[in-house]
Amino acid sequence: ASRQSVVSPSVPNINVAVATQLNSAAEDQTALQSLFGRINYVLNNKYLAEVNFRYDGSSRFAKDVRWNLFPSASVGWRLSKEKFFNNMTNIFQEVKIRASYGQLGNDKVGSNYAYLATIGPIGGVPPIGNVLTPGYAQTAIPNPNLTWENVIKQNIGIDLLMLKNRLGITADYFIHNTKDILLRVTLPDVLGATEPSQNAGEVQNKGWELQMSWKDRIGQVRYGVNFNISDVKNKVVSLGGVPPTFGDQVRFLGEPINSFYGLVADRISQLSDFDFNPATNVYTAKFPFISGDKVGPGDIIYRDLNKDGKITLVDDRQIIGDPFPRYTYGFRGDIDWKGFDFNFFLQGVGKASGYIKGPARHAYFNESSAPQTFHLDRWTPENPGASYPRFTYQLNHNQRLSTFWLENAAYTRLKNIQLGYTLPKELTDKYRISRLRIFASADNLFTKTNFFYAYDPETPVSNGGYYPQVKTFIFGINLNMK
């Protein structure tokens, strides 16, 4: 591959020459250097302490802010080893409380050279004389103060082993603060270059996690179950003076990041919600709507939140949900008996907002998407109790984000189930086989959810452009030879 008229021989890349050939090149280089250490201490097998540190340097930042220290520490106390627990050892075999604090750094800041003034082609090669001359200009404003994003993790927890080690309980409460998140500074468009990023944002994740397990044996039957559940609340703590975003998903102080920001839908309008003029064949709405919208029977009625008699995207939108699942849980069980083994795994989410949009939801979206089966229940004068508004073409009144389109994305899914049989050793030993197991398993066998249509509740916010979860059936043999 080759090009002519290289801008500078000191930059050995064909992209900085005249683009008279259908070729291109790309180069990149980054470096990360780290020092780390650990000290741990155990006293009388009761008191535990550990200190860690990392000292990281990244080529993605300028020399003055390239290095940062990320320490962490944890302590634990095994109460079950104390004398005052001696008369409770028949119930509690292990009781430990613990706490930890740690910092982690993130240097994945998008551009590898955000602190440098980089240049790029300006999109044209106007001839000067009879020679095509490439043109280049600065494409982004650098920020030499750009540095590491910092994640601060705080955790307290307790571990219990009870009833002859059959019952295990682990509980945690945590706070994760991500500080110095990169946000783009808003500058006038006349600047002509990409705005610089700065370490300005802070997001907090606060939550808890509980895990319980039980394992036991009844005669020749060994069995075990494990259940876990967790919940996380997310909120934006700081935007560092950067204005909040406005769109279908927003960043507002005190709210979850990328919260849904939309209208509140009351219901689908009916013929009685309009005055009809038979002379002009025109329906006039009795309810407020956004100026410029063409509304008719079967369109969504939005709530006038500020009671000013009109609907506007400025005054009548509010936070109506967020993309973060709540009460995520899992349940696992297994049982063995005389060579037979059976296990399963269920997972689910107790509360979640789902938003399927675009061509997956609306007919004739961008003049392309075809109607689907669920559109059969669209509004018509003969079907006033429909679940979908009337069909429209190139009108967006009904397609705006509102509570009408948010779905309950809670679900329970059987992720895996497996049944196997291991042949007795007295039979396999004759053939120099140490272990022979026959098994059958299935993935995603069933899902219980009220989520929209046939879309996957594990991906509740999308335009439907993804492959669905597939059911998988596997039959196999595990063979180990001596």
How many angstroms separate the CA atoms of 216 and 334, rounded?
11
Regarding whether 348 and 473 lie in a shared domain, the answer is: yes
Retrieve residue 159's tokens.
Answer: 């571990």
In whole angstroms, give the CA distance from residue 81 to residue 46. 6
Q: Is the pLDDT of residue 172 over 70?
A: yes
Q: Is 410 a domain residue? A: yes
Is residue 427 domain-shared with residue 343, that is, in the same domain? yes
Residues 438 and 480 in one domain: yes
Q: Give residue 420's pLDDT.
A: 98
Domain identity same for 464 and 412:
yes
What single letter denotes the amino acid at residue 174? F
Please check whether residues 335 and 480 belong to one and the same domain: yes
Predicted confidence at residue 12, as pLDDT, reads 64
DSSP one-letter string for 197-265:
EEEEEEEEEEEEEEEEEEEEEETTEEEEEEEEEEEEEEEEEE-TTPPPP-SSEE--BTS-TTEEEEEPE
In a domain, 171, yes or no: no
Q: Which tens digit of pLDDT belongs to each residue from 442-470?
A: 999 999 999 988 789 999 998 888 888 89
* Amino acid letter, residue 223: Y
Do 291 and 430 sit in the same domain of this protein? no
pLDDT one-digit tens code per residue, 372-384: 899 999 999 999 9
- pLDDT digit string (tens) for 322-355? 999 999 999 999 999 999 999 999 999 999 999 9
Please give the share of the chain, as a percent, with pLDDT higher than 70.
91
- At residue 127, does pLDDT exceed 70? no
Question: Same domain for 415 and 311?
Answer: no
What DSSP string describes 359-419? GGTSTTGGGTPPP-GGGGGB-BTTBTT-SB----SS--TTTS-BTTT-EE--EEEEEEEEE
The answer to whether 221 and 194 have CB atoms below 8 angstroms apart is no
Task: Report, as an integer, the average pLDDT of 390-403.
Answer: 93
Residue 418 falls inside a structural domain: yes
Give residue 141's pLDDT. Answer: 87
pLDDT of residue 482: 84
Domain that holds residue 393: 265-315+358-400
User: Does 454 share its domain with 332?
Assistant: yes
> Residue 315 and residue 321: Cα distance in Å, rounded?
17
Average pLDDT, the chain: 91
296 with 410, same domain: the answer is no
Residue 179 has pLDDT above 60, yes or no: yes
Q: Residue 48 domain-assigned?
A: no
3-state secondary structure of 86: helix
Cβ contacts of 79 within 8 Å, gap of 6 or more: 85, 95, 96, 97
Same structural domain, 349 and 480: yes
| Cα dist from 370 to 254, 255, 432, whole Å | 40, 36, 62
Given the DSSP bridges, would you call strands 197-218 and 221-238 parallel, antiparallel or unpaired? antiparallel
| pLDDT tens, position by position, 29-77 | 899 999 999 999 999 999 999 999 999 999 999 999 999 999 999 999 9
The total number of structural domains in the chain stands at 2
Are the beta carbons of 78 and 43 closer than 8 angstroms? no
Phi, psi (deg, nearest 5) at residue 464: 80, 5
Is 218 a member of any domain? no
Question: Within a 10 A sphere around the Cβ of 154, how many other Cβ atoms?
Answer: 14
Is 104 a member of any domain? no
pTM of the model: 0.87
Cα-Cα-Cα-Cα dihedral sign, residues 451, 453, 456, 461 = negative
**Which of these three, 400, 431, 466, is where a domain ends?**
400
Residue at 352: amino acid letter:
A
In this structure, is residue 379 part of a structural domain? yes
Whether 388 shows a pLDDT value over 80: the answer reads yes
The verdict on 389 and 482 lying in the same domain is no
Q: Is residue 383 part of a domain?
A: yes
Instruction: For residues 469 and 456, give the distance between their C-alpha atoms in angstroms, rounded to a whole number.
Output: 7
**Residue 184: what pLDDT?**
83
* 387 shares its domain with 367: yes
Q: Is 70 exceeded by the pLDDT of residue 20?
A: no
How far apart are the C-alpha atoms of 298 and 289, rounded to whole Å?
Answer: 13
Strands 32-43 and 47-58: antiparallel
The model's confidence at residue 244, banded by pLDDT at 50, 70 and 90, is confident
